[in-house]
């Protein structure tokens, strides 16, 4: 402990002590000891940084003892260990939220995500009263709160010396009427049924207001009802949190009235993805580019789940344990793996997307960035250096300039864009971090720390970046039939070879956007996606037409933003028997057939049933429904699965011809309707009787 105090004495600047002295008054002692890990590392005190990571509690005690030895603070003071970037910067990753600080407060450090219901201000001081007797010279130390009382010794009132502890100055408390608790990434999140009262210290209060979505991390205290406790039946009445970090999402929730649910199923056939036309404005003439309508559907489905976070919604797995056991019995397969390919925590509903293009994608990349910013308030460009997010020491070893651990952690509540092709080494590191849900990063002193990583990833890759470079042929020599240049591998296979299979396995949706030859495909896609942001076609350059469509240009993106924001407020939808039956029959048929290019077979890893169920759940949330329907939700999930197989080079009897029709200008909802009819026939062939669908 003395060694730690010596390190603290060498690190604590004199001006900090002077500032604390000036702020400490008899009425409003508003200064608090705090530590900032990056500041300490930048000052060269790496041994102290290592000590903080190894045993935060001992550092807190040592800091308190050091300050007490300087006669600056009372023994009633508390020391808050703020191992984060400066709180004034909202773009920084809070280490106090992501570091595994089990040593700081075992089983009591938790994160609560919820909507602010009420805010109140308070003042709470822990006061140390020292009473002395003038006869026997005895002393008595009493810790009070706000007021004092008289004490008698040897027949005379004891004299007291008032010393205030620096605990709270002017603080605020926020009430989370319903919240979700996450103890750590290794444990599933749970919904808290009682109110959560969060105490915000000083600068943590920020600009929170009722209706904001916040994530509060701190030391928890469970309050039980006194009457029930006296009767031997303790009942939890509320949870109090003394926050050490507050992640504020002021724009995550918007005022938006959810549409009424349709009482009948007949409207779903007509609506399907026609609702996008109502949101974005007349899209009839925007659905011509090859696969762009399905890519748009993928982006919208992913965006409605991207800004929710792992604990922002009540987590309910779309496949319960009983359903998984029943499915294993039905399929008579011990190796059935219904879990997602990503080994993440329970309740993860993020959807990662890989878009493969046939040529250069400069304009398409810019449009995708605009779409991400329009659909999600929190977007991180993972292809840019992350020095402005975290110190350079908090990066993947071997990945110094592209995707860093800080950028992936920064996108935990939003979207991380990958617009540059990674090397195999970089892709393996990123893929393993996404699969594990956390990344271990190295400090200069040889120590490591762990940060949580659960982003939503949108990746775009062009054929020219992932295709192997062809070697020039010698003069006069022609390529034979057995030449390697005569066979072109699918783009998804090339992407896995270029960026590692570990990264390729993390994408729930893979779409080969421009596999059909079309020189104008990329230009169409650029205009198509950009129209989402601006609400009109950019190639209409007549000034009169632009001026008359101004209201339409503004109204369409606003309606889309409100629609997606409302999706973030919805709980996980419930899987219906019809939707599950359709997914079961499709999974069984795909597993039974299993023939593709080159006579290969589709293994169990090719189709993940829970991934398909997760896609169907996201589609239901996009439509603001509480239940997952067979059409269009489960049908759209099957279309996404088929797109992934096609991108890997497999034949698709269900979706192949419909995909070609869609590329020639047929509406997506019509193709989905045809796919649904085929799936009904497949269900009957495999004996899945789950009820008739009403046209």
Question: Predicted confidence band at 353 (pLDDT cuts at 50, 70, 90)?
Answer: very high
User: What number is the average pLDDT over the span 348-361?
Assistant: 78
Enumerate the domain spans of the chain: 1-83, 127-164
Closest by alpha carbon to 503, among 459, 447, 465? Answer: 459
User: What number is the average pLDDT over the span 390-402?
Assistant: 44
- On the question of pLDDT at 636 being above 70, the answer is yes
User: What number is the average pLDDT over the span 409-418?
Assistant: 77
- Whole-number pLDDT of residue 150: 61
| DSSP string across 3-33 | HHHHHHHHHS-HHHHHHHHHH--SS------
Greatest mean pLDDT among 339-348, 571-580, 583-592 lies in 571-580
Closest by alpha carbon to 459, among 425, 490, 413, 505? Answer: 505
- Whole-number pLDDT of residue 56: 52
- On the question of pLDDT at 24 being above 50, the answer is no
Contact indicator for 457, 504 with CB cutoff of 8 Å: no
User: What number is the average pLDDT over the span 409-431?
Assistant: 80
Residue found by looking up tokens 């590392």 in the block: 41
366 or 527: which carries more pLDDT confidence?
Answer: 366
Question: Predicted confidence band at 352 (pLDDT cuts at 50, 70, 90)?
Answer: very high
Output the average pLDDT for the chain.
61
The CATH number of the structural domain formed by 1-83 is 3.30.1640
- Whole-number pLDDT of residue 365: 77
User: What number is the average pLDDT over the span 256-276?
Assistant: 37
pLDDT tens digit sequence for 125-136: 434 456 677 777
Burial 312-335 (b: 16+ CB within 10 A, else e): bbebbbbbeeebbeebeeebeeee
Task: Indicate the range of 510-524, 603-617, 638-652 predicted with least confidence.
Answer: 510-524
- On the question of pLDDT at 29 being above 80, the answer is no
542 or 526: which carries more pLDDT confidence?
Answer: 526
Looking at the chain, the whole-number percentage of residues with pLDDT higher than 90 is 2
- On the question of pLDDT at 681 being above 50, the answer is yes
pLDDT tens digit sequence for 432-491: 888 887 776 654 445 555 666 778 999 888 777 776 655 444 444 444 444 444 456 777
Question: Predicted confidence band at 429 (pLDDT cuts at 50, 70, 90)?
Answer: confident
User: What number is the average pLDDT over the span 231-243?
Assistant: 65
Query: Hey, is 68 helix, strand or coil?
Result: helix
Conformation bin of residue 523: beta by default, left when phi > 0, alpha when psi is -120 to 50:
alpha
- On the question of pLDDT at 362 being above 70, the answer is no
| DSSP string across 303-331 | HHHHTT-SSSS----SS-HHHHHHHHHHH
User: What number is the average pLDDT over the span 111-122?
Assistant: 70
């Amino acid at each position: 402990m003395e060694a730690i105090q010596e390190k603290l004495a060498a690190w604590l600047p004199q001006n900090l002590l002077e500032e604390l002295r000036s702020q400490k008054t008899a009425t409003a002692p508003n200064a608090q000891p705090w530590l900032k890990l990056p500041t300490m590392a930048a000052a060269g005190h790496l041994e102290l940084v290592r000590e903080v990571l190894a045993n935060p509690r001992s550092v807190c005690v040592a800091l308190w003892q050091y300050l007490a030895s300087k006669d600056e603070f009372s023994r009633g003071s508390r020391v808050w260990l703020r191992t984060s970037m400066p709180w004034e910067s909202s773009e920084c990753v809070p280490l106090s939220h992501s570091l595994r600080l089990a040593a700081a407060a075992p089983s009591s450090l938790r994160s609560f995500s919820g909507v602010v219901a009420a805010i109140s201000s308070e003042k709470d001081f822990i006061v140390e009263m020292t009473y002395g007797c003038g006869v026997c010279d005895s002393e008595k130390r009493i810790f009070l709160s706000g007021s004092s009382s008289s004490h008698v010794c040897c027949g005379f009132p004891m004299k007291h010396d008032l010393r205030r502890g620096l605990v709270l100055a002017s603080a605020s408390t926020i009430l989370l009427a319903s919240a979700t608790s996450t103890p750590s990434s290794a444990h599933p999140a749970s919904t808290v049924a009682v109110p959560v009262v969060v105490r915000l210290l000083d600068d943590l209060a920020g600009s929170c207001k009722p209706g904001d979505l916040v994530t509060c991390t701190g030391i928890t205290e469970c309050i039980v009802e006194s009457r029930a406790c006296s009767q031997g039946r303790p009942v939890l009445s509320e949870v109090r949190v003394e926050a050490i970090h507050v992640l504020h999402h002021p724009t995550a929730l918007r005022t938006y009235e959810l549409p009424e649910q349709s009482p009948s199923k007949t409207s779903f056939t007509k609506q399907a993805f026609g609702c996008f036309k109502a949101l974005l404005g007349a899209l009839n003439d925007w659905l011509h580019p090859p696969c762009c309508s399905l890519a748009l559907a993928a982006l919208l489905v992913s965006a409605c789940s991207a800004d929710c976070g792992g604990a922002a919604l009540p987590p309910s797995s779309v496949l319960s344990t009983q359903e998984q056991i029943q499915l294993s019995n039905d399929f008579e397969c011990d190796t059935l793996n219904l879990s997602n390919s990503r080994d993440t925590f329970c309740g993860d509903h993020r959807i990662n997307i890989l878009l493969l293009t046939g040529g250069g994608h400069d304009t398409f990349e810019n449009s995708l960035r605009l779409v991400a910013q329009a659909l999600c308030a929190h977007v991180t460009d993972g292809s840019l250096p992350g020095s402005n997010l975290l110190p350079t020491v908090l990066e993947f070893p071997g990945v110094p300039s592209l995707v860093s651990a800080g950028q992936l952690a920064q996108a935990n509540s939003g979207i991380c864009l990958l617009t540059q092709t990674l090397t195999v080494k970089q892709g393996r590191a990123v893929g393993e971090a996404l699969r594990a849900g956390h990344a271990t990063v190295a400090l200069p002193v040889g120590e490591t720390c762990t940060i949580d990583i659960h982003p939503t990833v949108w990746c775009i890759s062009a054929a020219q970046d992932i295709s192997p470079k062809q070697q020039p042929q010698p003069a006069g020599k022609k390529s034979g039939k057995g030449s390697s240049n005569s066979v072109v591998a699918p783009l998804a296979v090339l992407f896995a070879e270029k960026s590692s299979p570990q990264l390729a396995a993390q994408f729930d949706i893979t779409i080969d956007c421009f596999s059909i030859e079309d020189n104008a495909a990329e230009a169409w896609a650029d205009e198509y996606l950009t129209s989402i942001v601006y609400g009109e076609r950019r190639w209409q350059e007549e000034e009169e037409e632009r001026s008359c469509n101004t209201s339409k240009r503004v109204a369409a993106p606003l309606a889309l933003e409100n629609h997606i924001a409302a999706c973030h407020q919805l709980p996980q939808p419930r899987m219906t028997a019809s939707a599950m039956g359709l997914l079961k029959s499709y999974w069984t048929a795909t597993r039974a057939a299993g023939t593709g290019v080159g006579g290969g077979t589709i293994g169990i890893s090719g189709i993940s049933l829970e991934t398909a169920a997760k896609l169907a759940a996201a589609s239901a949330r996009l439509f603001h429904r509480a239940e997952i329907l067979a059409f269009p939700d489960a049908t759209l999930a099957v279309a996404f699965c088929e797109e992934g197989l096609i991108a890997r080079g497999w034949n698709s009897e269900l979706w192949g011809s419909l995909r070609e029709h869609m590329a020639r200008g047929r509406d997506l909802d019509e193709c989905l309707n045809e796919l649904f009819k085929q799936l009904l026939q497949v269900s009957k062939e495999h004996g899945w009787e789950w009820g008739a669908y009403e046209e």
